Structure 1
Amino acid sequence: MTDELVDAVAGGGGTEALGFERLSAGFERMLAGWSVAGPVAYVEAEYFGGAGEERAAVWADGALAVGPLDVPVKRWFSRPVGPVSQALRRLGARRGLGGDEFDAVGLGRHRWTGDWAAYGAD
């Protein structure tokens, strides 16, 4: 989320709702409202040089349905599944061979906020 978007959706509530760095209470209420029409996920990820952290939550039917998630889970005979991939799975995404749900839905194209935030602004 850009700083401008955080300011626009804060809705009078400060950031750090549910332990997220940039999720406000006002935006959390918006996500819950939108989820009446279908599940909605909010994710945060910060990586540098392969190390970092993720946090994710999913709302469905107007309420928090999954999370907040902040640690990977490991299932028998599988690799760890991070919070973002867990949230995307809840939305119906399925990973491809050699990839994860993040790349399967095309989010790899948007890894740097500065690269896409101005897209279409012209």
Structure 2
Amino acid sequence: MYYLEAVIADRQTLRGLADSVEHAWIVDLGQGLSLLPLTDPVLEAGFRKEQAGFAGRLAAWSANGPVAHVDADFFGGLGTQYAQVWHLGEVVLGPLHAAEGEPTPEAGSPISQALRRLGAVKGDHVDEFDAVGLGRHRRTDHWVPA
């Protein structure tokens, strides 16, 4: 099982977001990107009471650099992915969805496309998802230190 829901951007961009939300934690990934896990305590602290408010906050923070909201849910190799990227207050990618059983688009999975939009490169890895280390933990709450 793999489940991730997070906001990804560079550390400086996420800092403003994290400072305004109780229980928020920033985790460094590879390639200059960081991740803010959307754990239950973060969501309960009011980060996402409604989708429009959530999108508005991400749009506002994207004034400092591109910001992605990503979601992946896999079990036994099958699952779903979602990604959307904002920059300068506007949606610049997505929302992208990959339903269970759909083939991966030639451009890559939704999350890999979002990471590429944030500046990640695949290099010698399978994809951008792998290149920045998103396989490091299997559940969103495992990204937060105990």
Q: CA deviation at 1:35?
A: 0.4
> Aligned pair 1:64/2:91, yes or no?
yes
Question: Among residues 41, 47, 55, which one is paired with 2:74 in the alignment?
Answer: 47
Instruction: In structure 1, give the amino acid aligned to 2:130.
Output: D
Instruction: In structure 1, give the amino acid aligned to 2:42.
Output: L
Of 53-62 and 103-112, more deviation after overlay is shown by 103-112
Q: Which residue of 1 aligns with 2:56?
A: 29
Question: Among residues 24, 40, 54, which one is paired with 1:3 in the alignment?
Answer: 40
Q: Secondary structure at the match of 2:135?
A: helix
Question: Among residues 110, 121, 132, which one is paired with 1:94 in the alignment?
Answer: 121
How many residue pairs end up in the alignment?
103
> Aligned pair 1:104/2:131, yes or no?
yes
Instruction: In structure 2, give the amino acid aligned to 1:55.
Output: Y
Distance in 2 between the 1:98 and 1:58 partners? 22
Distance in 2 between the 1:30 and 1:45 partners? 21
Instruction: In structure 2, give the amino acid aligned to 1:91.
Output: L
Q: CA deviation at 1:91?
A: 0.6
Which residues of structure 2 form unaligned runs of 5+?
1-37, 99-103
Give the structure with higher Rg (CA): 1
TM-score, normalization: structure 1?
Answer: 0.75
Q: Secondary structure at the match of 2:92?
A: strand
Instruction: In structure 1, give the amino acid aligned to 2:106.
Output: K
State the structure with bigger RCO (CA 8 A, min sep 6), 1 or 2. Answer: 2
Q: CA deviation at 1:112?
A: 1.6
Q: Secondary structure at the match of 1:69?
A: strand
1:60–1:48 Cα change, 3 Å: same
> Aligned pair 1:74/2:111, yes or no?
no
Retained in 1: the 8 A contact 2:72–2:80? yes
Instruction: In structure 2, give the amino acid aligned to 1:33.
Output: A
Q: Secondary structure at the match of 1:108?
A: coil
Q: CA deviation at 1:83?
A: 0.3
| CA deviations over 1:60-106 (Å, ceiling 9, x no partner) | 0111111000134226xxxxx11000100101111132421011112
Structure with the bigger percentage of strand: 2
Q: Secondary structure at the match of 1:36?
A: helix
